Amino acid sequence: MKNLIFFLLIMTLPLSAYAKYVKKPHSNVDKREPAADAAKPDPRFCIFGAQSGKPFNTEAAFKSVVWKSDVVYVGETHDQAADHQAQFEALKAMKIARGSKIAVGFEMLNQTLQPVLDEYASGAITQEEFLTRVNWQKEWGFDFNLYKPLFDFIAENKLRGLALNVPKKVVGKIARTGLDSLTPEEKAFLPEQVTVTTHKKYNEYLKASFAGHGDSPMAKMFTLENYLASMAAWNEGMGNKVAEFLNANPGWSVLVVAGNGHVIYNAAIPASVKARVKGVRQASFYTEGEPCQETLKKDHKDLANYVWYTNHPPKPEPAKPAEQAPAEQAPAASTGTATAPALMPAIKSDLPEVQRANVDAESNKDLKEAIQKVKSGN
């Protein structure tokens, strides 16, 4: 009876009387802290939406873009390590979302080299054998170490590699003598229909580049019409290879590694892929070498889907010649428009040896300056 009375007394007490004796679980502070950290800008991702200006400056924001895309384009200035690191960040993010169903398309390798790339990606040949067989120095020329992390990641994770580029001689021939001059064998590197873009800004960009070649002896060898046709064939050839892969491999995604000139305004490779793959979801990143900005710069609007500020280090001053005029007499450095993808080397490679020698003899200095300007810009 005493026990019953005690129980009834306890039951009649207000809950507040014994609630203080109930031990509350500790708040999960550890789980909340990473969320707060994740909201802080990450210096690796100084990215803005190129239309909206909205910042995508955290790893989570970057991944949210990459994960929902079938094709991711990360442009580059070829000799800049920071741009290649941006490409690597994209590849790592894609791996989380797609596992091994990823292909990496390289502008650096022309389509005839696909079998060699397959062997290298599968581990069948060494890096030294790969570089020798693709003739990397002649085929591309830029330091392989800049691209090595991408190739290593492909091999380690059993991903696919795609050799996208149209052979230089084909592009050069179109620039000199037009699309109709191609042989059936040369046309095999291009889609059945090559569309010359009508994108206003992109065409202005190409025309400015064409005009920038000035009186270079190489520039005298082709017309504006053929120049635009060669650029269209170049972009369409690479875009077609990406499209063919996506259409044959549903559920896969592709990272395209190419110069900014093939990404800009979404008018080059991205436009070609969009026209050939129904419902494709794409994200393009134009890498801009300026330091990180607080907001998107006005003149960078619409360069792609996103602008990624990668902060290139300043280029060293060129060595002064032994005999140079005083500084006050030296001509001012050119500040011309950024050039389109390097076409001059392709044109030169298509010339007979004697004609190449004649061009060099006519104006070797101008030619070297023109090629260097194009290579360093895109």
CA distances from 269 to 11, 45, 71, 300, 366 (A): 76, 24, 11, 19, 30
Select the more confidently predicted residue: 350 or 99. Answer: 99
- What is the H or E stretch that residue 16 is in? helix 15-19
Q: Specify the pLDDT at position 332.
A: 31
Residue 128 corresponds to which amino acid? E
pTM metric for this prediction: 0.79
- Structure confidence at residue 12 (pLDDT): 47
How far out from the chain centre does Cα 141 lie? 17
The CA–CA distances, whole Å, from 54 to 49, 100, 267 equal 5, 31, 22
pLDDT tens, 262-287?
A: 999 999 999 999 999 999 999 999 99
Distance CA 348, CA 123 (A): 35
User: What are 299-358's pLDDT values in tens digits?
Assistant: 999 999 999 999 999 987 766 655 443 333 332 322 233 445 666 566 555 444 433 433
The structural domains of the chain, ordered by start, are: 48-312+338-377 (3.40.50.11550)
